């Protein structure tokens, strides 16, 4: 294991010298971090995970074992990527062009998944680019996300649909005194729903 600037990289990991890894981050066994990656402080990249060329990650992100984060994904601070999650980058994938020739890097333009602060993607979920996962949202395990997910939404299924709301603690919210009010049973925080958008009450 190599360690510099409090960055831990195990010997079996493949980390490009062009990648920028923030203070306190850890890259574990068999993970690959490609050139141009910009990773914040205190991030964890688990065994066998892949972080594609130029991917941007904020501080305190966790990418669990065997997750595939393809470029040009952008992860804000505090994002959780569960085991075997896939963030795609090709809306119309093909190995060959219509004339039968092999597709090259010049024959398509990668599109990325954007994940905002504090959001969590459950194990084996797939996010089909281009989609945005809103702040503090939760994507359930095994879901397939094909459209944007609003902040604080809990989505599940194939294709993923909103089945509830979650607070910043990750726990599902419970209905308040009226149809537009939601409360976190863990923190007591209050949220207000309007036209399919949830906002947190400011103290």
pLDDT tens per residue, range 30-88:
999 999 999 999 999 999 999 999 999 999 999 999 999 999 999 999 999 999 999 99
pLDDT more than 70, % of the chain:
97
Name residue, tokens 């149809």. 179
4-8, 16-20, 155-159, 182-186: least confidently modelled range: 4-8
**Residue 202: its pLDDT value, please?**
82
pLDDT category of residue 179 using cuts at 50, 70 and 90: confident
pLDDT category of residue 4 using cuts at 50, 70 and 90: low
> For all residues of the chain together, what is the average pLDDT?
95
**CA-based radius of gyration for the chain:** 18
**Residue 147: its pLDDT value, please?**
97
**Residue 156: its pLDDT value, please?**
98
End-to-end CA distance of the chain: 46
**Residue 135: its pLDDT value, please?**
98
* pTM, 2 dp: 0.94
Is residue 176 classed exposed, middle or buried when 0-12, 13-18 and 19+ CB atoms within 10 A define those classes? middle
pLDDT category of residue 1 using cuts at 50, 70 and 90: low
């Amino acid at each position: 294991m190599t360690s510099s600037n409090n960055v831990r990289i195990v010997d079996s990991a493949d980390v490009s010298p062009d990648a920028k890894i923030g203070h306190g981050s850890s890259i574990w066994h068999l993970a690959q971090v490609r050139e141009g990656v910009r990773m914040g402080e205190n991030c964890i990249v688990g065994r066998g995970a892949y972080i594609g060329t130029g991917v941007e990650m904020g501080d305190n992100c966790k990418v669990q074992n065997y997750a595939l984060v393809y470029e040009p994904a952008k992860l804000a601070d505090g994002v959780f990527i569960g085991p075997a999650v896939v963030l795609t980058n090709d809306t119309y994938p093909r190995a060959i062009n219509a004339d039968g020739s092999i597709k090259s890097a010049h024959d398509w333009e990668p599109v990325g998944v954007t994940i905002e602060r504090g959001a969590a993607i459950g194990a084996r979920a797939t996010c089909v680019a281009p989609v945005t996962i809103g702040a503090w949202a939760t994507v359930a395990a095994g879901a397939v996300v094909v459209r944007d997910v609003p902040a604080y939404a809990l989505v599940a299924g194939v294709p993923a649909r909103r089945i509830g709301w979650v607070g910043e603690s990750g726990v599902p919210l419970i209905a308040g005194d009226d149809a537009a009010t939601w409360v976190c049973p863990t923190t007591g925080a209050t949220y207000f729903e309007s036209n399919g958008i949830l906002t947190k009450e400011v103290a």
